[in-house]
Amino acid sequence: MNLSFEGHHGTSSTSAKEILLSNYKLSIGHQEWLGNGVYFFVPGISTKTLELAEKWAVAQAWDNLNKVFLYRDYCVLQSRIEVDDSAFLDLTVEDGVEILSYLVDRYTEKINTIGRKMMFLDGLLLNLAREEGILPLEVVKGNFYIKFARERVERINLRINNCTICAVFNPTRNITSTSIVKTGRIK
């Protein structure tokens, strides 16, 4: 593993304890930015990754449908992520974007031959690339605009990215240590 960096993950205290006992579980679903995986704020556009993870934990606590907090006690976990360069797709740099663009080109070229037009989501394409063995993806990094509590309450929808996140697809392999670095309570 020739790349190593730290990431921060915000979640409820209950989930944090479970993670420490039995490791992370993948977030799965079509709305995941970089596909199925465990998500971390990592240094990039912002270096304040602990603060971002804390804001995320607070934002995720609110159940907007039922207007209740799902949890009030939260934690920020700090994990060491290690990966070989050959299994790391960095979408914050030209080399990475070039790969994604080529993947899209080949995909559309093929699917258009039968007159189909698909709606693209980065995460779905990355899931396909990884699970079909097209790319040896273990960790993917990208810049995104993420809405935290303030952005959600005040309807702030910018297009400019505000953080860098990474998704780890196999936490057992690529996360070498995890510890709680901050706890808090939503009042």
Chain residues in the site for other proteins (CB under 8 A): 30, 85-90, 95-96, 98-99, 102-103, 106-107, 109-111, 113-114, 116-121, 124, 127-128, 131-136
Nearer to other proteins, 114 or 160 (CB): 114
Give residue 49's identity as a one-letter amino acid code.
Answer: T
Taking the complex as a whole, the smallest distance from the CB of residue 3 to other proteins amounts, in Å, to: 11
Cβ proximity to other proteins, 52 vs 166, nearer residue: 166
Q: Which among 139, 160, 146, 142 has a CA at the least distance from the CA of 56?
A: 146
The tokens for 21 are 């006992």
Residue 87 C-beta: closest distance to other proteins, Å: 7
- The greatest distance separating any two alpha carbons of the chain, rounded to the nearest whole angstrom, comes to 56
User: Which tokens belong to 5?
Assistant: 């960096």
Q: Which is nearer to other proteins, 63 or 95 (CB)?
A: 95
CA distance 38 to 183: 20
By beta-carbon proximity to other proteins, the closer residue of 86 and 157 is 86
CA angle, 5 then 75 then 121, to 5°: 60
- Smallest distance, other proteins to C-beta of residue 118, A: 5
- Please say which residue, 132 or 154, places its beta carbon nearer to other proteins: 132
**What is the nearest approach in angstroms of other proteins to the Cβ of residue 16?**
29
- CB neighbour burial string for 49-73, b if at least 16 within 10 angstroms, e if fewer: bbbbbbbbbbbbbbeeeeeeeebee
**Taking the complex as a whole, how short is the minimal distance between the CB of residue 142 and other proteins, in angstroms?**
13
